Every structure is written in C-alpha cells, then in structure tokens.
Amino acid sequence: MVSSTSLLWVLLAAIVMIVVLIVRFRVHAFLTLIAACVVVGVGSGMPLTTLLTSFQKGMGDTLGFLAAIIGLGSILGKMLEESGGAERIAKTLLAALGKQRASWVMMLVGFIAGIPVFFEVGYILLIPLVYVVAKETRINLLYLGVPLAVSLMCVHCMLPPHPAAMAITNMLGADVGKVILYGLLVGLPTAIIAGPLWIRLVARIDAPATQEAFLQERCEADSTRVLPGFWLTLLTILLPLILMVGKTFAVTLPKDSTAFAVISFLGHPLVALVIAVVFAYWSLGIRRGLSMQDLLGHTQKSLPPLASILLIIGAGGAFNGILIDSGIGNVLATSLTQLDINPVVLAWLVAGIMHFAVGSATVAMMSAAAIVMPTLAAHSAYSKEIIVIAIGAGAIGWTHVTDSAFWVVKEYLGVSLADALKTFTSATVLASIIALLLTLTLSHFV
C-alpha cells in the first residue's frame, strides 16, 4: 500500500513531467498526458491491466459524449467563417456604433462571433477587418486587436460549446445551460474591463509610424461577395445557446408535461447543435445559393483540425479517471480540504498555474478539473457550474510565450515581444482576476 504522502509526490511528479515535456521538449500534449497517466498509475501501484482499463474507460467516457458535440460546433463555426457571417456582424456593429468606438466593436464582435469558433480561427478570421479599420481611422492596431483577442479568450475558456468548457462541464456533471448563463454574466464584463478599458491605459491610441507600411502589405481590396443578413447570422450563432439555456429554465414546468419533455429534448447539447447546424446549412448556405456539394466541402474542411483537440481532451479524461481509480483523488481531496482554501479560488489558481506552465488553456482546464473534482463532495455549498466558470477564469490568464495564441496575436498585430507582453498578456492576467472576483460574487447568489 502506497502512503498518502507518496501518492501526492507521484501526482506532483506527473504535473512537473507534463510541464517539462510540453515546454522544454515540445512533446505533443496528447502524448504527454498519456505519459502522465502511466506515471500516476505505476507510481501509485496500480496493476498494469487495471491501469489500461482505467485509461480506456476515462477516455471513452469523456469522448463518448463530447466527440459529436465538438464536431457539430466545428461545422457551425466553419459555416460562419465561409459565409462571411462574422464580417457581417462586425460591419453592422461598426456602422451602428461608429469607428470612434472601434475597440468596443471588436470586443463585441469577438464575444459574439467567437461562440462557435476556436480562438485562433476567430482571430485570423477577423483580423483583416481590424486592418481595414486601423488603416481608415489611423488607430493603433493594439487598440483593436487586443480587445478582440481578450473577448475571444473569455468565450473560449468559459462558454460551451467550446471544447474545453464543454468537456469540464460534462466531467464535473454541471448543467450546461447554467454554465452558459454564468459564463455570459462573468465573461462579458470581464471582456469589457480587460479589453477596451484596459487598452486605453497601456497603449497609445495614435498609430505608430511603422504601422502604415505594415498595413499596406496586408490590407487587401474590399471583398465584393454578398454577406448574409445581420439578424439571421446572429440567430444562427445564438440558436444552440438559446436551446440549451431553455432547457435550464424548463425546470419550472411540471416534470410530466409535454412541454417539459420537448424543451428538455431540444435543449440537450447534442440536439441543440444538430438543429443549429441544420439551420446554418439553410441560413448561411442554401438560402444564399450554395449547393449540397458546397456544404459537404465546408463540412469536410471543418473536421480534420479537430483531431488534436479531441485527443487532448480524451487523454485529459483518462488522466482524471486514473487519478480517481489510483486513490490519488481521495488523498488529494483530503489534503486540499485541510488547507481550507475556497474551492472557487482553488479551481482558478490550479487552472492559472497550469496555463502559465504548459501554454494551453485546454490542457490547463482538463488538468485543473481532474485535480479539483475530488474536492467537490466536501464543498457542496458551491455549485458545479461555478467551479466550471472558475476553472475557465483561471485558464484565461497568463497567455504568454508558451501559448500559441500569444504568438498569433503578436504576429498578426506586428508588435514587439515587449509590447505584446505589456498589452495582451497583461490583459489576460487582468481578465483572469476580474473573472475570479465576478465568479466569487456570483457564487453568493446561486
């Protein structure tokens, strides 16, 4: 029998190994998490056959529900990208609010258009519009690009159906509708404070002398394609969220009523996303003259990029399963409970440390969920949905040189490493702290 102290050392060794393999040796996170599973299993004294069974069950249980969800979400995001829906939302908001409020517009565009697309995809998709606005208004690119990046990061970490947010919602057994509601309540104020408000303090509004040449190389002629309508595009993006949140409010109906059964069925994440994809095929595709062959092409292009994210999430689920089956989960829960740390702060802190170390919000969220999950039974006063939001809040912070998102923002804005750290990294740290404070406040009311 391995002692409790030894089990904790085994877990620490596994975490250190994850950091070293990813950061120092550039090993893919999927392979790194498999190695961590082996270290935890062998180090805790699990029989090898039990270790394999636990790995298989943990990965299967995690991906069994999420694979289809993530695939459907990716198709929805691809339809938004190919149709020009994100561009339509941005242009409409710019026309309504004015280019003098362009930093606020880009924050809102990121928050809305980022719901169905990954961070990098959303940023690359919208950056041409940032270039155009910056060229016409002579505003510093940082004033537009940083609020966009911060809002995309908030949505990426806190709002299902984004993969990591959806994965930890499922792992912790939280209600997806409530997670969406709480994510909106926390995420939007966070994006406002750490986006357009913060950038005014850390960057000049006037464009630097080098920006004109930078934009001259990157600004393309305005596209002549016909964009979809604003309200129809907005409905397409928000439809799955409306259906999933509707299921949460259906609890007020009689459990044996037809209305409750129908709303509960439509609000299931899988059903909601199937409906949203079918609607997107019509609203952003067939209605605009696309053929079924065109839609097939968009669908096929949306799926290959998912391989990496699915494998990482699956391995994260396996890591969680082995932590539980090895007994480390119970020991960890006991140890963390004795520290008398607020579980919301604990979830936020673990996710933040992991993101700082490994440079992946997805890996950070999956690892944090696996670590804090055993402590939930001892802290029943805090809802699982709040813990999910706390983990997402922690994962927003410390987006720096170890994270590919940092380099996407730095290179597309054409700024120095120092300026990127000063503006974008500092904004994510502020966003993480603001999100924690808002989550703690919200935890007193729900």
**pLDDT tens figures, 43-58:** 999 999 999 999 999 9
Q: Which of 357, 351, 348 is nearest to 403 (CA)?
A: 357
Backbone angles phi, psi at 334, to 5 degrees: -65, -45
Quote the CA–CA distance of 261 and 253 in Å, as a whole number: 10
| Span between the terminal Cα atoms of the chain, in Å | 41
Quick check: 164 and 366 in contact, CB under 8 A? Answer: yes
Say if residue 421 is exposed, middle or buried (CB neighbours under 10 Å; 0-12, 13-18, 19+): middle
Quick check: 131 and 257 in contact, CB under 8 A? Answer: no
Q: Which of 166, 136, 186, 236 is nearest to 386 (CA)?
A: 186
Q: What is the residue-averaged pLDDT of the chain?
A: 90
Beta-carbon contacts of 364 under 8 Å, excluding residues fewer than 6 positions away, are 351, 352, 354, 355, 358, 394, 395
Span 116-144, pLDDT tens digits = 888 888 898 888 888 888 888 888 999 99
Residue 377 confidence class, pLDDT cut points 50, 70, 90 = low
pLDDT of 148: 96
Instruction: Spell out the alpha helix ranges (H) of 84-162.
Output: 85-97, 102-113, 119-137, 141-158
> Greater confidence, 165 or 382?
165
Residue 222 has pLDDT above 60, yes or no: no
Quote the CA–CA distance of 131 and 139 in Å, as a whole number: 10
Residue 379 has pLDDT above 70, yes or no: no
Tally the C-alpha atoms within 13 A of residue 11's C-alpha that lie toward its C-beta. Answer: 26
> Greater confidence, 209 or 435?
435
Span 264-321, pLDDT tens digits = 999 999 999 999 999 999 999 999 999 999 999 999 999 988 888 899 999 988 998 8
